[in-house]
Amino acid sequence: MQTGAPFSFERFTFPDLKTLMAKASPLRSGDVLAGLAAGSDEERVAARFALADVPLKRFLNEALVPYEDDDVTRMIMDDHDADAFAPVASLTVGEFRNWLLGDEATPEVLRNLAPGLTPEMVAAVSKLMRNQDLIAVAKKCHVVTAFRNTIGLPGHLAVRLQPNHPTDDPAGVAASILDGLMHGSGDAVIGINPATDSPETMIELLKLIDEVRERIDIPTQSCVLAHVTTAIDVMARNAPVDLVFQSIAGTQKANESFGITQAMLAEAEDAAKGLKRGTVGSNVMYFETGQGAALSADAHEGIDQQTVETRAYAVARKYSPLLVNTVVGFIGPEYLFDGKQITRAGLEDHFCGKLLGVPMGCDVCYTNHAEADQDDMDNLLTLLGVAGCNFVIGVPGADDIMLNYQSTSFHDAMYLRSVLGLEPAPEFAAWLRKMEILDQNGRTRPQLDGQAAQNLLAWSGAA
């Protein structure tokens, strides 16, 4: 891979592609912390002018991390589909933005294009886009996946039910699962972050979810978000694993800091597929990402945090996931300072993932030391709903008492479905109607004294 000539616009010059992309990024605290951000607003826009003139092809000839040093770069380059790339092969980044917004870029065209795009191309064009551009193009990208239900269909919004408990107490987890189901949440996955990453805990929690799922025939999937090696371990012990979880990042070094290799992810996908537990599809992986993860592991390789985040989606795409979740505000204000930066990052991540063909959802969230509140979350949640986000997170009252941060609530998901006319995953929606949780108008209005509610309460009480 050779490095080309430096880039310039007016009095500004940028020595290489990596620097140019960093300087073109909308301001965020993580790039300032890393010493990568533009020194002024003028320099930032100058970098965008220069970036707009870069041919997309150049990203195939100039790797941001050397091919020899990084297995994510090798994956990106080796898996690139030149035929799929052909429709945009002659465009610059600026022309690519125009093309994406144009009528020619239909959902079908974009779906066929995805394997021809690299994360760097997608990150680059996102830096030239306003929030409305990110929303408008993402809305045209339909990424549909399936396991026991179908997620990502236009006009639908799924919710991960996140019933975490600080000591993994089964009765406490069951109470939160019940609360979520009664609010129409849980179609993306019933997914527990365990307080303790051990095979025993994982098996116990998997059995807990599996029991209620089978008892009342819920068309959804479960996941205990332990390390991929723990999942491989318990699958060998015949535990009821639907989805395998793993946090991933955009460089080999960052993934090593998570204790993972590409071989482990491939092994886990094979093992979970081999269990044949899906009924309407076989997407068995659940990945989480988030801007700032690579920098916090000191493994960003001098790449800006939005671009290195997008490289994580190339890793995700390789293993045909059911769900990819950008946990956008979890990491703290040193990476995304306030509601404005969190909002921008959430829209970027969703757009970039979708354009690459990844089934993006978003944990719209913040910590108490960020300059953000529920109003900011309402805004981002609504924008993502408009953009066609595959799923969001549902936590009782938006307060995760195990991870100590604020996400979105079951109520928030009901609001979003209601104001935008979005339906749960079709199989799950049918179940909610059968359970008298959805009424005839599609609203979440559970009949608490109905037989279905009684069955759910009975299960939860016995857990």
Partner 1 sequence: MDNLSNKKIPSGLDPWNALRIHTDARIGLGRVGDGLPTERLLEFQMAHARARDSVHMAFDADGLRAQLGTINHAVIDVHSAAPDRATYLQRPDLGRLLDDASAQTLADHKGSYDVAFILADGLSARATHDHAANTLSLILDRLGDSWSIAPITLATQSRVGLGDEVGAALGARLTVMLIGERPGLSSADSLGAYLTWCPKRGRSNADRNCVSNIRPAGLAPQKAAEKIAYLMIEARKLGLSGVALKDNSSNPALIEG
Closest to partner 1 by CB, 253 or 311: 253
Q: What are phi and psi of 65, to 5 degrees?
A: -120, 130
* 401 near partner 1, rule: CB under 8 A: yes
Q: Indicate which single residue of 16, 27, 33, 426 sits in contact with partner 1 (rule: CB under 8 A).
A: 33
Strand partners, 244: 285
* Count of residues touching partner 1 (by CB under 8 A): 54
Q: Quick one: which segment of 38-46, 54-62, 236-244, 396-404 binds partner 1 (CB under 8 A)?
A: 396-404
* 457 near partner 1, rule: CB under 8 A: yes
* 39 near partner 1, rule: CB under 8 A: no
DSSP state of 196: S
User: What 3-state class would DSSP assign to 94?
Assistant: helix
Q: Which residues contact 416 (CB under 8 A, 6 or more apart)?
A: 157, 381, 382, 385, 392, 422
Structure-block tokens of residue 28: 């965020």
Structure-block tokens of residue 365: 């969230």
Strand partners, 327: 363
* 229 near partner 1, rule: CB under 8 A: no
CA-CA distances (angstroms) from residue 216 to 70, 170, 425, 434?
47, 18, 17, 11
* 258 near partner 1, rule: CB under 8 A: no
Q: Quick one: which segment of 132-140, 262-270, 308-316, 333-341 binds partner 1 (CB under 8 A)?
A: 333-341
Rg (CA), the chain: 22
Residue 162 in marked binding region: yes
CA distance 455 to 436: 12
* 454 near partner 1, rule: CB under 8 A: yes
* 40 near partner 1, rule: CB under 8 A: no
Strand partners, 245: 286
Residue 193 in marked binding region: yes
Residue 363 in marked binding region: yes
Nearest 5°: the CA angle 34, 39, 43 is: 125
* 305 near partner 1, rule: CB under 8 A: no
Place of tokens 């089978």: 214
* 407 near partner 1, rule: CB under 8 A: no
Residue 320 in marked binding region: no
Residue 121 in marked binding region: no
Strand partners, 326: 289, 362
Q: Quick one: which segment of 124-132, 133-141, 278-286, 404-412 binds partner 1 (CB under 8 A)?
A: 404-412
* 403 near partner 1, rule: CB under 8 A: yes
* 176 near partner 1, rule: CB under 8 A: yes
* 216 near partner 1, rule: CB under 8 A: no
* 45 near partner 1, rule: CB under 8 A: no
DSSP state of 190: E
Answer yes or no: are the C-beta atoms of 159 and 231 closer than 8 Å.
no
CA-CA distances (angstroms) from residue 189 to 61, 204, 286, 404, 462?
39, 17, 9, 21, 22
* 448 near partner 1, rule: CB under 8 A: yes
Closest to partner 1 by CB, 266 or 401: 401
**DSSP E strands, 267-322:** 285-289
Residue 298 in marked binding region: no
* 462 near partner 1, rule: CB under 8 A: yes
Binding site for partner 1 (CB under 8 A): 29, 32-33, 163-166, 169, 171-176, 178-179, 183, 195, 296, 333-334, 337, 367-369, 373-374, 395-399, 401-406, 409, 411, 414-415, 418, 443-444, 448-449, 454, 457-458, 460-463
- Residue ranges of the annotated binding site for adenosylcob(III)alamin are 194, 246, 296, 402
